Structure 1
Amino acid sequence: MTEIRKDFVSKTYFELIYYSELYSSNYEEAIKLFNKLLYENSELTQEEKQSCQERTLRNVEREKELFKRGEPIKCNNCNLTRYSTRYCENCIIKYLKSFFGTWTSGSKIIDEFLRECQSNSGLPLHIMEWIPSDQLEDITPLVKGGISTVYIATWKRGAILDFNESKQEFVYSGPHKVVLKSLNSPDNPYEMIFNEAKKFVQIRSGDIVNAYGITKIKTPDDHFAIVMNYFSDGNLRDYLIKNQSALSLKDRIFAIWRISLALSNIHQQDLIHCNLHSRNILLYTNRCLLSGLGSCRPVNNESADKLYGAVPYMAPELLKYKKYSQATDIYGLGVLIWEIFAISQPFDYIPDSYQLAREIVCGLKLQMVPVIPNKIQSLINKCMDEDPLKRPTIEQVLDTIKSLYKEIYESQDLITEYENKKSYYSPSKIVVKPYTQVVHKSSIIDLNEKIL
């Protein structure tokens, strides 16, 4: 038996599954097309194709239960409605509840929070659990910030991958690397962890970073931390620098598509992300997954006392009035699309955050570099329109990007336009700069005085 090339198989899997979705809005038809393309693929071994089919089956059944797809089924165990033939989420929740008395984090507040999460979400990959510290080894600090510290570790048991209904037990992925994100607020040590962890349970999307649960890191302060996916390809900003010449037009539009889909999942929950930037997007092979959910807020809670984030991605009305909206997310998405093509960091020639904020409020725009295809330039300009009411919705952005991605497969015109422009384009300065997340501590009046 030959060894399965995990990264290559994963990349091929996502290319085929997303390509299939382009040609059918019907999920079952898209899966049939995927299976046909998988069968015809000459680059994968038979064992690798089988692993893709098993992955597809798991995802199809999980999404049936998650999105209530297909015909409803009466569960023989709990008599409630289910959609998956593989398992019933109601039964998994009941199974999780049966273990409530067998584990503890040592904190009543954390225990109650995790039990609430498990009472509302019982699908594999979307279950928040208590992960004992003895399950984690080789813990190594990665990044330290003002209110958070990020570590890398190996999770010996691994994440919940599936549920075996006949045996009434979870199937685990086995040892793999994870990220531990410790968030500490001096006023409330639990608030920031809860705010971020709740969003994972609420959104339940395959296009955002997975959160597996909460653990306690053995430090002098014994900080609690969220356990999440580890992505060896790093964040989008660093990835663009390392792969600037290797990325094709298809790669770039594919990345925009996945980022847009993740943002769509957030907006569908009546949430605003509030902190879009290229270091909050993590990569796994060819997938872009959105992180930084701790700053998410409901659409009916738009006003902010403080602005957290990177100024280059902030809309003018956000800097002036401290009011978040889904339209301010769209503005940030427009900046990201520009960055994916231009490679350079947006507005990197103005290093002072307050000076840049003043310039944006006074009408500063990103300069369209020649390498950006005309249709993408048009989309960027719409996303960054000075009037937030004139910006497209995330669904409109998705329709445009999917149409462009499909056009790449059916016509050479976009690729030819891009390659012609690319041959004459070279970013003036490609410099990896240390990233600091700007925190505006001023009041609204102070901030406006500094900007205006």
Structure 2
Amino acid sequence: MNKVQLQFIDYSSFKDINTLNNGMLKAFLRNANAHVILKKLKLLHQLSYHQNILTIFGYSREADDGDYLLVMEFANGGDLRQYLKEKHQKLTWHDKMRLAIDITNGLQCIHSHGIVHTSLHPHNVLVHNGRMVIGDLGLSKTMDASIPENIEILPYIEPNVLANPSYPRDKRSDIYSLGLLMYEISSERAPFSSFRHNFEVAKKILSGSRDKPILGTPIEYIDLYEQCWDNDPMARPTVDGVLSILGRMNLTPVYDEDFEMTTFNGNYLKGVERKDVKVKFENSISIEVHPNEANNVVSTSSKNLNSVSKKSGGGVDSGFSEEVRADGRRIANKEGKEMQIISMSPKM
């Protein structure tokens, strides 16, 4: 592996720092007049540069509290969910396959460096210059283990974590989330979008329910995302397996009302320990799911801070030159270059 040094950018280079939603801050880089986003991080383990991962330009240190700040590229096209809304019913299946492959390529690079994202959802998949890039890398080891109350994120958390927030998340947890992302790409809508309360969604997931396939979806694509969101982590494919299948996938036949269906009882619960499950949310709302309450559902029968490691060879193309990836000064000299900053605690 080659070591890529992160460039230090003086915090005084930033001005007009304003609070945005979700704990983010917006600022300008003085010497480049560039938009940036600041987001606090506790720890950064490692990161690599790839055309489907949000690019790092360098790091800085906040004057007030001494937090380290990670300077990253600012995605100019919003997030995946916003993109799907804007492109509703305008995307061909070749377009959708490109989205799925972009995301899987990024996740493959993340996993190849021993990183588990743990928070893969449509608001962390961003659009930049027409391609999908994965953001918020490094949050995995600092995330609160409690179940989030955001109903838009809840479906992307694997059932074992819903049943037990201390359940250790690993690469297979990311694959579960990838399956939900693939479904959202196919349907152009959020999973469990008909529900308004997180406890309802959690109960549905724990009872084995999943969204039905969308008419016109390639059968092989359905089979793949169903494998990814299998409740049994050991039954889920690896990211390499997913990428291989996507690369040789047939877009016909497609799912329609005449496609053979099979009904099963709680099949998705096979990977979850068969006992009473109680889920408690931060707002003190709790639900209970018992093994004998699994609903009948319908499914298709198809079934450290100073350096960053860069993997050499292996066919992973970052899409950026070594100079641009490693040198934050080059970025500062590009007029109007957009970036975001993520902060990390100096207690590392």
Q: TM-score, normalised by structure 2?
A: 0.66
Q: CA deviation at 1:352?
A: 1.4
**Residue equivalent to 1:252:** 96
What is the rounded CA distance, in whole Å, between the counterparts of 1:362 and 1:450 in structure 2? 12
- The answer as to whether partners of 2:8 and 2:60 remain within 8 angstroms in 1 is yes
**Structure 1: tracts of 5 or more residues without a match:** 1-64, 67-120, 157-174, 184-191, 408-413, 422-438
Deviation at 1:209, TM superposition (A): 0.9
Could you tell me how far 1:371 is from its partner in structure 2? 2.9
Using the TM superposition, give the Cα deviation of residue 228 of structure 1 relative to its aligned residue in structure 2, in angstroms. 1.0
Q: 2:8 aligns with which of 130, 150, 159?
A: 130
1:279-428 correspondence runs (5 A)? 279-297=123-141, 305-307=145-147, 310-322=153-165, 323=167, 324-404=169-249, 414=251
Match of 1:229 among 56, 73, 77: 73
2:26 maps to amino acid: Y
Q: Offset of 1:130 from its aligned partner? A: 2.1
- Contact 1:240–1:343 under 8 Å retained in 2: yes
Structure with bigger gyration radius: 1
What are the ranges of 5 or more consecutive residues in structure 2 without an aligned counterpart?
A: 258-279, 290-348
Contact kept? 2:218, 2:253, Cα under 8 Å: no
Q: Is the 8 A contact 1:334 1:380 kept in 2?
A: yes
CA 379–416 in structure 1, closer or farther in 2 if over 3 Å, else same: closer
- Tell me which residue corresponds to 2:120: 276
- Structure 2 counterpart of 1:149: 24
CA distance in 2, matches of 1:440, 1:206: 37
Structure 1 length-normalised TM: 0.51
Q: 1:311 Cα deviation (Å)?
A: 0.8
Name the structure 2 match of 1:411.
none
The alignment of Structure 1 onto Structure 2 pairs a total of residues equal to: 262
- Using a 3 Å threshold, how does the CA distance of structure 1 residues 228 and 245 change in structure 2: closer, same or farther? same
The aligned counterpart of 2:37 is 180
The 5 A counterparts of 1:29-44 are: none
Distance 1:244 1:415 in 2: 22
SS for the counterpart of 1:363 is coil
Question: What letter corresponds to residue 161 of structure 2 in structure 1?
Answer: L
- In the alignment, the residues of structure 1 paired with residue 201 and residue 19 of structure 2 have an alpha-carbon distance, to the nearest angstrom, of 29
Query: CA 1:397 to 1:155, structure 2 compared with 1: closer, same or farther past 3 Å?
Result: farther
Deviation of residue 273 (structure 1)?
A: 1.0
Give the whole-Å Cα distance in 2 for the aligned partners of 1:334 and 1:360.
Answer: 14
- 8 Å Cα contact 2:14/2:27 also seen in 1: no
Please identify which structure carries the higher helix content.
Answer: 1
SS at match of 2:212: coil
CA spacing shift, 1:132–1:441, aligned 2, 3 Å? same
1:207 partnered with 2:52:
yes
- What does residue 267 of structure 1 align with? 111
Identity %: 21
Following the alignment from structure 1 to structure 2, what is the Cα–Cα distance between the partners of residues 361 and 304?
21
Any conservation in 1 of the 2:8–2:58 contact (CA below 8 Å)?
yes
Contact 2:218 2:252 in 1 (8 A): no
Aligned partner of residue 271 in structure 1, secondary structure: coil
Does the 8 Å contact 1:140/1:153 carry over to 2?
Answer: yes
Assess if the C-alpha contact under 8 Å between 2:60 and 2:69 holds in 1: yes
For residue 272 of structure 1, give the secondary structure of its aligned residue in structure 2.
coil
Go from structure 1 to structure 2 and tell me whether the alpha carbon gap of 1:278 and 1:403 turns closer, same or farther (over 3 Å shift). same
Q: Residue in 1 aligned with 2:86?
A: 242
Contact 1:180 1:226 in 2 (8 A): no
Once the two structures are TM-superposed, the CA of residue 231 in structure 1 deviates from its matched residue by: 1.6
The CA deviation at 1:243 is: 1.4
